[in-house]
Structure formats: C-alpha cells, structure tokens
Amino acid sequence: MPPKKAKAPASRSPNDLDRIVGSNIRALRQSQNITLQALATEIGVSHQQLQKYETSANRLSAGMLPIVAEALGVEVSDLYFNEQCAKSDQHDEAARLRKECEGVIQRVKSKEVLASMARVLRAMAV
C-alpha cells in the first residue's frame, strides 16, 4: 500500500507571509502619502477590501501582487521584504527618499507633467 500524501492545509486563513505582505503594502502606501481610497481605486478594489489586505484579515491573491506593486511603484519582491531585514541592512534615509520619489514618478501618467518634473529634478540636482 503506497504511503498517503500529505494534504495541504484546508485553511485559507492568513499566515505569517500574508501578514508581512499586508504590512509592507500599508507601509509603502503611507510612505508615499497615498490614501487607502486612492490605492484601492488604482488597483480596482474597495477601500474596505484593501484595508483587509493590509491588516491580513483577507489574503491577497497572487494575481493581485503585480497590480499592487505597480500601483506603489515597486517590484513584487518588495512586498515580501520583511521590515526586520530592512533594519539589519540599515537602509539609509537617502535610499528611502529615492524609493519614495520613484513611487511618485511611477504614478504620473502625463508626459507634460513628467517633463516638468524632470526639469525640476535636474535643476535641483547637486
């Protein structure tokens, strides 16, 4: 008689990884001064659903990960990055600010606005 295969847990409740992803989504959203409603609209869910993702009350589907990452201007892998890892790497303030600027730039749709932003950034670069 062949050995029985282990069954995957039937529970769809959030696990530690879901909590990390949800927490990182919230941290990234807040660091870029994006409201819950604005991000929810951008990714096509209600603000209540987004809040459930951020608090790990609901699990985020694999298909939603690239949508959320794009809306936040980050890579999907950044959603999995544990805050404790960030502390151990001792990311400096300049790196955080660059990431924040990158996220803001990613959200701009207008070529004219992007051109204006580029001129301002070039003028301010030292």
**Rounded Cα distance, 32 and 83, in Å:** 17
The domain locations on the chain are 16-124
Q: Which fold has domain 16-124?
A: 434 Repressor (Amino-terminal Domain) (1.10.260)
CA atoms within 13 A on the CB side of 29: 22
At 88 the pLDDT is: 40
Instruction: Calculate mean pLDDT across residues 66-89.
Output: 77
**What is the pTM (predicted TM-score) of this model?**
0.61
Is residue 72 within 8 Å of residue 28, measured between CB atoms? yes
User: In this model, does residue 29 exceed pLDDT 70?
Assistant: yes
